[in-house]
Amino acid sequence: MSKTTSNQMWGGRFAAGPDAIMEAINASISFDKRLAAQDIAGSRAHAAMLAATGIVSSSDAEAMREGLLTVLSEIEDGSFEYSTALEDIHMNVEARLKELIGEPAGRLHTGRSRNDQVATDFKLWVRDQLDASEAALITLLQACLAQAEAGADWVMPGFTHLQVAQPVTWGHHMMAYVEMFGRDLSRVRDARARLNECPLGAAALAGTSFQIDRDMTAKELGFDRPSANSLDAVSDRDFALEFLSAASICAMHLSRFAEELVIWSSAQFRFVTLSDRFSTGSSIMPQKKNPDAAELIRAKVGRIFGANVALMMVMKGLPLTYSKDMQEDKEQVFDAADNLMLALAAMEGMVRDMTANRDNLAAAAGSGFSTATDLADWLVRVLGLPFRDAHHVTGTLVAMADEAGCDLPDLTLAQMQSVHSDINDTIFDVLGVENSVASRVSYGGTAPAQVRSQVARWKEVLE
């Protein structure tokens, strides 16, 4: 194993540099460079606070500010040279600052530690992701709303057990996803509100003897307040776990929708036609148009939920406060965030572009004895039968239709009367699928009028 003779970072205490394997397992710069902008924002706020409180001179703080801006521009234009020997983004930025401005750079770390620094940087990063997820969810919700509005009264089969159950409207089905993504939106907003306390100034774990102004840095970085317990501030990763949990549930919703799109776009269903922009062909079968985007969205929940579980496992046994284990938080969150954003964008594109095949939906809506419940309800309402008896009579009629190879509305009145003599021809009024959905006017039901009022409500909510 190779060894270097001096230690670039901990020269005072360490005579020897790290083993190459130590450097490899320890360094996080390969991934935490994604925190660069947040790290520099945190350092700028800290430097300004150190000057405002008289802990460093204003000329030193000005040098830090200028230097940090230069570092940021080097990172942005790609000229910044990252060093693995410097472990992480915090040390990389500070070392470059030292090269640029000399001695004042050494005063920047007064009254803080990498422990509160990384917690702050990571919170800022996750907060940006929550904001980006919020925006993406709103766009997706709008795409679902547009579908719902266009097809508020288009009939389609509703399913339980993937067996035809009762007719519903296309708009109602789309609005079910609006409810689901709407809850995702509120989870993202809740998580953001809880995240928004600033760890900076908790220092290593116990706070600091310098008279720092934590309110100032918290405000400068857009936090609502400083976190109230320094031990918790550096050991807490709930904000990352809340993001991953919200992302997992959202990804699960996306996956269920994706699964429906895969089924609906198949030759057996043909409920929807997905656009060419979100489909692929087959290299051997010329007729194929595959719903790859939907399939990949369906799969994303695996890695996102995996990240959630992985970070739970990392955190569950850790004593307070910071342990290096916690460095393993970032890659999980980065990967989950990247893939959630991709999945949200792809779903939004698919939903916006897809065509619901109204005729096929309507044809399927009438199949599978989907108005059997309407028939039973009619027997209760008009003939006064107890529902259990009505259920039995209807079951007999379904068996009769099944035997005859026809649908319920195709049975003759005489056939129906052979099962229950009081049945009259007004029963045919409730057997059509249009009648069926129009009658489901209870709040939250599938009637077009209900769907339209939910669309209107959501449009207002999203404004």
* Residues between 333 and 392 with contacts to ligand ARG, criterion CB under 6 A: none
Stretch that binds ligand ARG, among 52-60, 111-119, 240-248, 310-318 (CB under 6 A): 111-119
Amino acid letter for position 168: V
Which of 134, 133, 153, 183 has its CA nearest to residue 455?
A: 153
438: which DSSP letter? Answer: H
Query: Max CA-CA distance within the chain?
Result: 101
Question: Would you count residue 326 as binding ligand ARG (CB under 6 A)?
Answer: yes
**Nearer to ligand ARG (CB atom), residue 28 or residue 446:** 28
For residue 32, the minimal CB distance to ligand ARG (Å) is 6
**Nearer to ligand ARG (CB atom), residue 234 or residue 390:** 234
For residue 118, the minimal CB distance to ligand ARG (Å) is 4
* Residues between 142 and 201 with contacts to ligand ARG, criterion CB under 6 A: none
For residue 266, the minimal CB distance to ligand ARG (Å) is 46
The whole-angstrom distance between residue 347's C-alpha and the CA centroid of its chain comes to 12
227 is catalytic: no
**Nearer to ligand ARG (CB atom), residue 220 or residue 329:** 329
Phi, psi at residue 166, to the nearest 5°?
Answer: -140, 155
Residue 87 to residue 454: CA distance in whole angstroms: 53
* Residues between 17 and 46 with contacts to ligand ARG, criterion CB under 6 A: 28, 32
DSSP string, 235-275: H--HHHHHHHHHHHHHHHHHHHHHHHHHHHTSTTT--EE--
Question: Would you count residue 321 as binding ligand ARG (CB under 6 A)?
Answer: no
**Token reading at 274:** 């997905």
Tell me if residue 166 falls in helix, strand or coil: strand
**Nearer to ligand ARG (CB atom), residue 13 or residue 388:** 13
Which of 23, 100, 151, 69 has its CA nearest to residue 455?
A: 151
Pick one of 120, 327, 339, 394: the residue that binds ligand ARG (CB under 6 A): 327
Pick one of 88, 94, 242, 374: the residue that binds ligand ARG (CB under 6 A): 88
Stretch that binds ligand ARG, among 1-9, 49-57, 113-121, 358-366 (CB under 6 A): 113-121
Question: Would you count residue 240 as binding ligand ARG (CB under 6 A)?
Answer: no
Pick one of 38, 43, 115, 255: the residue that binds ligand ARG (CB under 6 A): 115
Pick one of 181, 223, 271, 322: the residue that binds ligand ARG (CB under 6 A): 322
Q: Which of 2, 161, 421, 442 is catalytic?
A: 161
Question: Would you count residue 114 as binding ligand ARG (CB under 6 A)?
Answer: yes
Q: Which of 282, 323, 367, 453 is catalytic?
A: 282
Which of 242, 180, 212 has its CA nearest to residue 46?
A: 212
Question: Would you count residue 120 as binding ligand ARG (CB under 6 A)?
Answer: no
283 is catalytic: no
**Nearer to ligand ARG (CB atom), residue 32 or residue 184:** 32
Which of 289, 126, 252 has its CA nearest to residue 193?
A: 126
For residue 28, the minimal CB distance to ligand ARG (Å) is 4
**Nearer to ligand ARG (CB atom), residue 41 or residue 372:** 41
For residue 36, the minimal CB distance to ligand ARG (Å) is 13
Residue 328 to residue 312: CA distance in whole angstroms: 11
Dump strand ranges (E) for 319-425.
Answer: 355-356
Residues that bind ligand ARG (CB under 6 A): 28, 32, 88, 114-115, 118, 322, 324, 326-327
Residues annotated as catalytic are: 161, 282
